[in-house]
Amino acid sequence: MNHNQPVETDNDPQNELVTLNLGPTHPATHGVFQNVIQLDGERIVSGISTIGYIHRAFEKIAEHRPFYQITPLTDRLNYCSSPINNMGWHMTVEKLLNIQTPKRVDYLRVIIMELARISDHIICNTIIAQDTGATTTFLYLFQFREHIYEIYEEICGARLTTNIGRIGGFERDFNEIAFAKINKFLKEFPVALQEFESLLNRNRIFIDRTAKVAEVSAEKALDYGWTGPLLRSAGVDYDVRVSDPYSSYEDFDFEVPVGTSGDIYDRYLVRNEEMWQSIRLIEQALEKIKHEPAGIFHADVPEFYLPAKEEVYNNMEALIYHFKIVMGEIDAPKAEVYHSVEGGNGELGFYLINDGGRTPYRLHFRRPSFINYQMFAPMSKGMLLSDAIINMSSMNIIAGELDA
Amino acid sequence: MADITNQELTALLTERFGDKISGVNEPYGLLTFETTKDVVITVLEFLKQNSLANFNFLTDITAVHYPGRKHGIAVVYHLHSMVKRIRVRVKVFIDEHHPEIPTATTLWNSANWMERETYDLFGVKFEGHPDLRRILNMDELGVHPMLKQYPLEDPNRVDKKDEYFGR
């Protein structure tokens, strides 16, 4: 169907359909993407998704940038959990270069990635509540995203597009204020999350709007390539952190919550439980760090790790390595590597081909939002428009990750 | 650990497809092999249906452009067996002047947008695809921009020549 054409009708008002342009800048889409929907009353007859409104050709740009300059591009994929993207990219390059990071670096990365996961899930779950009319819960919980951003700010100086860390570790160690803020967050956030759950989990209106809406079977979810909380809510216990552990996730004790029916209520519950598990992971990581030698925040790989500025100005070797890394002259093997991490929305994969040049020969991002979203239009058929809106919110489609 | 090793998987594939499976190697432990476009869907179907392999999940489809080669476009499939906990990478090299390959949407619905993206960026025509249109770029864009002959920036600019930047 071409959406520029008027809809053909036979002038029978009973058969007439209404075309609704939902997006690209509709407040209910929470991002820049469009759905052209044919409505019969309030029921959706058919829908077409149009995406690409913020396509920025990152894969093309990445072919012209040395490895360390690609980190800021990954920020802008899922900008609600940038640190996970950054870490995923660093780990991809480390896998290519065969760098073993120290345990303390891995645990610091777990802390920052789980904070990012919490901030991602806060956005999704509060927006589901907001779209069902529960503004209070949105206001209660959303301020904790701000507290997480303050922690990022303490660690790397940025808030939304973090560019956090380096290939081989972090650019600097976490300072005392950062740890104090993490501890404060761990004390305050569970109280707020408890309150959030007590307002919604058994709320009659919320359950009426979400339970048994947009149910998805496990087979269908796998067929459409769903990963992350969406797949787990349909009953498949697939989590990259468990199936292909990275960043020493195998050292941690945590549970993977699984739903049964894949409806919106299950997706909400799975995300909430994942936030509790993330808190457990951060607590364990803070405990484990105490047993590791202090002050180590990067792997000892001077030829790949961008040195600190004061060393560059005072130390010949650091100056040479700095020059080589900045010019993209590092000695990387000619190889191809696929690495994936559990992003906020699912399996975030990096497929990197290096041909020995200054820049990647090819870099492809497997973006969970892009692959999850293709089920939206087919599954909306026969659904009420108001249900389709919450369905979209519960899929947590982030336009940056959708379009790359 | 995975329930099936890369060697067992390779043996399984060569037994079934013989010399249609070539270029087998394991970069960073991920089994990679090449096949041809006339059997690729059969190979993928075999990997999906075979109870020893059980690759139930299509992780990714993308393409790579190698200009100057006889078969200049590689279509790359990443499959994942969540049951056996193993991944595999399947490559098909096709002619860049006639980039045609059968669609995988018959096996996985998730292939739909992945193939549309690959078509949009590389111009690979997936035969039998239900709705092969551009997805990220505008319909009027005459080119497939990820092909290597298209430069990143306006080639007429004199202040941003690649050699000034060591590129």
pLDDT digits (tens, 9 = 90+) for A120-176: 999 999 999 999 988 999 989 999 999 999 999 999 999 999 999 999 999 999 999
User: Where would I find the H helices in B40-164?
Assistant: 40-49, 111-122
Q: Residues A373-383: what's their mean pLDDT?
A: 92
Which residues are CB-neighbours of A54 under 8 A, at least 6 positions away? A32, A399, A400, A403
CATH class for the domain made up of A58-403? mainly alpha
- Is residue B1, in this structure, part of any structural domain at all? no
Question: In this predicted complex, what is the ipTM?
Answer: 0.92
The full set of domain ranges for chain A reads 58-403
DSSP letter assigned to residue B125? E
State pLDDT tens for residues A319-361.
999 999 988 888 889 999 999 999 999 999 999 999 988 889 9
Q: Is B89 on the interface with A (CB under 8 A)?
A: yes
**Of chain B residues 111-140, which have a CB less than 8 A from chain A?**
112-114, 117, 121, 134-138
Chain B nearest CA to A167, separation (Å): 18
Q: Is A343 on the interface with B (CB under 8 A)?
A: no
| DSSP string of A285-299, one letter each residue | HHHHHTTSPTT--B-
Report the alpha-carbon distance of residue B96 to residue B123 in Å, rounded. Answer: 9
Contacts of A52 in chain B (CB under 8 A): 134-138
For A49, name the nearest residue in chain B, comparing CA atoms only. Answer: B135
Among A61-75, A158-172, A305-319, B144-158, the minimum mean pLDDT is found in B144-158
Report the alpha-carbon distance of residue A129 to residue A132 in Å, rounded. Answer: 5
pTM: 0.93
Q: Taking CB atoms and an 8 Å limit, are B87 and A61 in contact across chains?
A: no
**Which of A138, A125, A120, A379 lies closest to A265, judged by CA?**
A125
Query: Average model confidence (pLDDT) for chain B?
Result: 90
Among the partner-chain residues A328, A362, A404, the one whose CB lies closest to the CB of B64 is: A362
- Is residue B77, in this structure, part of any structural domain at all? yes
Chain A nearest CA to B90, separation (Å): 13
**Which of A364, A298, A307, A391 lies closest to A102, judged by CA?**
A298
- Is residue B35, in this structure, part of any structural domain at all? yes
Domain limits for position B76: 6-165
Q: Taking CB atoms and an 8 Å limit, are A327 and B62 in contact across chains?
A: no
Question: For tokens 């909380």, what's the residue?
Answer: A229
Report the alpha-carbon distance of residue A400 to residue B84 in Å, rounded. Answer: 33
- Total structural domains within chain B: 1
Angle ∠(A200,A206,A210) on CA atoms, nearest 5: 120
Report the alpha-carbon distance of residue B114 to residue B105 in Å, rounded. Answer: 10
Report the alpha-carbon distance of residue A346 to residue B110 in Å, rounded. Answer: 14
CATH number for position B89:
3.30.460.80
Q: Residues A99-128: what's their mean pLDDT?
A: 95
